Structure 1
Amino acid sequence: MMQLLQTLMTDRETDRAERQATVTALQQIANQGHGNHDHPGSKLKNFQNTNPPVFSKTEEPLDADDWLQTMENNLEVAGVEENEKVLFATHYLAGPARAWWTSARALNAGQMMTWADFKLKFSKYHVPPGLIKKMRDEFRELKQGRMSVVEYRDSSSPCQGTPDETDTTEKRKERFLNGLHDEMQTVLVNIPFADLEALVDSAIQMEGKLHQANENRKRRMMNQRSNAIPVATKDKSTITCYECGVVGHFSNECPKRLAKLAGNTSAPAQQQRRVSTGKKFAPNNPNNRGGRLYHMNAEEAQEAPDVVLAEEKVHKIREYLKTAQSRQKSYADKRRREMTFEIGDFVYLKVSPLKGMQRFQVKGKLAPRYVGPFKVLSRRGEVSYQLELPEEMAVVHNVFHISLLRKCLEVPEKTEVFKNIDHRSVDINSDLTYREVPIRILEEAYRTTRTRSIKFLKIQWSNHTEDEATWEREEDMKKEYPDLFST
């Protein structure tokens, strides 16, 4: 504790000594006048007469920048020399700012600091770059909003960090115009102004005209409301009630009718039920009208014998859900495919036919076919199987992915149909594709457009029946299969 107090006392003595040295130097400058005996008033007195402000720390973002600009203006007014500006200005630093100056002067190793270097270091420390960027962004996004034109002009004045956006008159006019209200921009954008002052003056005049027009519109609306035709009140002394025949009220206001509605308790049996147990109201109270729903929790409802529970609907909903789930399950079971095969199983192999045609800019492909069945010899990895292929399919590699296989549900040896299967009827390539070729032309037809007539041919393809024939363009068929037209 004693060491801390000694340190504080030492720092205070050092600061006091520095201030005394600064005052002594300023007094010497004032007494000597730097050889200028023509002016009896000293520069120090002239500078003090400008009432320079004392800067301690930054309370607002632009306090440091404002102090620096004010101090520079006062130094110029007092006629202080360039090499004396730092000495005069730093005399009015106090608190944290004084501590910063002591540290900055120590880092400068006793060398004389110019006024330009002082301004640069002072601004860099007390006005950080992040704050300048924030002010620049706020300046770019500034709009008039609810401010008047004069208030908006003062708020949009150039500040530190925005010299590149307000360095010319055109940029300042454009920036000011973009922040005005839309109705003012629409009129002022087409008028060439000589400078910013002329633009501001026109905006102020237009603001007054718009304000006057709004006031006139409000005044006209108030006059229209005051001049509205008053609604005449009906004299009920001549009105006779259709319900009771008494003079002085309408039938919907009849006391007898209202009393009858209030005492009507003849509700349908399906809508009105009397609760005998579990109720929290007096049964003989005349204020308890029939046909009303009273709140009751689950425990009270279970104990009350006359309360109808809504369990029947819940049971029906559950039955519907079970039916829907079973329907989805049956559909999924039909679509289900075996994803694993055992050694010795028989499977079909998926092959894809190709026509080699371009119909409507899309390559024409027919539905896939399955050939086989073939016996599974072994399993290769997790999703591949080796099949026993006939000699006619020697060009095809005998290991296939599981997505190309479909299980044969009948054993070939026990089915007479498989004995007559001829694998040579389909010429399969090494990539599990086979080429479809046209056999004959079944029909001809024309499709007429606005500019021309296109001829189409109904073609029967190999390995397909007449019902599977497709319509193709004649010009495409002649280009791909010229032999079809030679016969």
Structure 2
Amino acid sequence: MDQMGQVLLLMQQQQMMALNMQQQQQMMATLMRALAQNFGMPEPEAPSLATPMTNTNNLYERFQRHRPCTFEGTYRLEEVKYWLNRVIKLLRSLHYSEVENVELISYLFEKEADLWWESVLRSIFKNHIWTWEAFKARFNEKYIPQSYQHERDNEFLRLQQGRMSVAQYENHFTELSRYASEMIANEAIKMRRFTAGLRNAIR
């Protein structure tokens, strides 16, 4: 099944689930009113209908309104980083779930990248649920060599403010920290590493 077929199937499943939930709640409300009338009890207020599940088509349309760049599978590291960072910023601003992020970003794959992603999907079991970290690990494994990752790790460990302004140092630190997530498992560790690189007078 191609990607568009998968999208349509997911849309249908979500719409059916939302419809079934609403029907069940309406039936329950009718039953409660009938019981109240038979036993002379005040008629209960009708329960509010649950918010329907997000329509995949609406997510996709909202995503596309921002005109995200497609990705054809280049191995030029700067281009890969630039594309990935732009898409991550867009997804972060839209506040989608991890599963939705993976689904939406996969629509941007074209040519070689699309063939690669299709092969990844075929290699796993059908109902596998992708987390963002799992997707990013697969993507980095394919398009960002391990040697490049090691270089960024070492650069992050050696980073010092030196003659940079605090703003310049912060920008450089933030950029490198994207490749050093295992070294900064939480905000406290990240802050200690940031502070350690500042000039003594500022620290």
Q: Smaller-chain TM-score range?
A: 0.5 to 0.7
SS in 1 for 2:149: helix
Preserved CA contact (<8 Å) 2:98 2:130: no
Question: Does structure 2 conserve the Cα–Cα contact (< 8 Å) formed by 1:132 and 1:160?
Answer: yes
Instruction: Name the structure where strand makes up a greater proportion of residues.
Output: 1
2:130 matched to which residue of 1?
Answer: 115
Q: Give a deviation string over 1:312-343, Cα, whole Å, max 9, x none.
A: xxxxxxxxxxxxxxxxxxxxxxxxxxxxxxxx
- Tell me how far 1:135 sits from its aligned partner: 0.5
Q: What is the CA deviation profile of residues 396-451 of structure 1, one whole-angstrom value per residue up to 9, with x for unaligned ones? A: xxxxxxxxxxxxxxxxxxxxxxxxxxxxxxxxxxxxxxxxxxxxxxxxxxxxxxxx
Deviation, 1:122, is 2.0
Q: Cα distance 1:155–1:85, how it changes in 2: closer, same or farther (>3 A)?
A: closer
Alignment deviations for residues 199-256 of structure 1 (CA, whole Å, 9 cap, x no partner): xxxxxxxxxxxxxxxxxxxxxxxxxxxxxxxxxxxxxxxxxxxxxxxxxxxxxxxxxx
Deviations 1:133-192 (A, max 9, x none): 1001122233445543322221122222254257422232112x1xx4xxxx2x335xxx
Distance change (3 Å), C-alpha of 1:115 and 1:140: same
Query: Is the CA contact 1:43–1:80 (under 8 Å) kept in the aligned structure 2?
Result: no
In structure 2, the partner of 1:18 is: 2
Report the CA distance shift for 1:170/1:80 in structure 2 as closer, same or farther (over 3 A). Answer: closer
- Residue of structure 2 in register with 1:69 after alignment: 88
Contact conserved, 2:71 with 2:108, CA < 8 A, in 1? Answer: yes
Confirm or deny: 8 A CA contact 1:56 1:93 kept in the other structure.
Answer: yes
Checking the alignment, whether the CA contact within 8 Å between 2:161 and 2:169 is kept in structure 1 is yes
Which residue in the other structure is 1:151 paired with? Answer: 168
Larger helix proportion of the pair: 2
Per the TM alignment, residue 33 of structure 1 is displaced from its structure 2 partner at its CA by 7.2
Name the amino acid aligned to 2:18: G
Distance 1:141 1:43 in 2: 42
Distance 1:29 1:45, change over 3 A: farther
| Greater relative contact order structure (CA < 8 Å, 6+ sep) | 2
**What is the percent sequence identity of the aligned residues?**
20
Q: Does 1:35 align with 2:18?
A: yes
Q: 2:111 aligns with which of 82, 95, 98?
A: 95
Measured in 2, the distance between the counterparts of 1:63 and 1:33 equals 39
Aligned letter for 2:129? T
Report the TM-score, using the length of structure 1 for normalisation.
0.28
Residues 147 and 85 (structure 1), Cα distance of their counterparts in 2 relative to 1, 3 Å cut:
closer
**Change in CA separation of 1:54 and 1:33 when aligned onto 2, cut-off 3 Å:** farther
Gaps of 5+ in 1: 1-16, 190-487
1:4-403 matches, within 5 Å, as 18-22=2-6, 24-25=8-9, 28=12, 32=15, 34-35=17-18, 38=51, 42-57=58-73, 58-59=75-76, 60=78, 62-63=81-82, 65-66=84-85, 69-70=88-89, 72-73=91-92, 77=95, 79=96, 82=99, 84-108=100-124, 111-116=126-131, 117-157=134-174, 158-165=177-184, 167=186, 168=188, 169-175=191-197, 177=198, 180=199, 185=200, 187-189=201-203
SS at match of 1:188: coil
Q: String of CA shifts for 1:261-317, please: whole Å, max 9, x gaps.
A: xxxxxxxxxxxxxxxxxxxxxxxxxxxxxxxxxxxxxxxxxxxxxxxxxxxxxxxxx
Query: What CA distance in whole angstroms lies between the structure 1 residues aligned with 2:138 and 2:181?
Result: 19
Larger radius of gyration: 1
Cα distance in 1 for partners of 2:13, 2:61 equals 11
Q: Which residue of the partner structure matches residue 31 of structure 2? A: none
Provide the C-alpha distance between the structure 2 equivalents of 1:47 and 1:107, rounded to a whole number of angstroms.
27
Distance 2:119 2:168 in 1: 41
Residues 64 and 126, structure 1, Cα contact 8 Å, conserved in 2: no
> What amino acid sits opposite 1:151 in the alignment?
Q
The root-mean-square deviation of aligned C-alpha atoms, in Å, is 3.6
Question: Paired residues, what number?
Answer: 160
Matched letter for residue 114 of structure 2: R
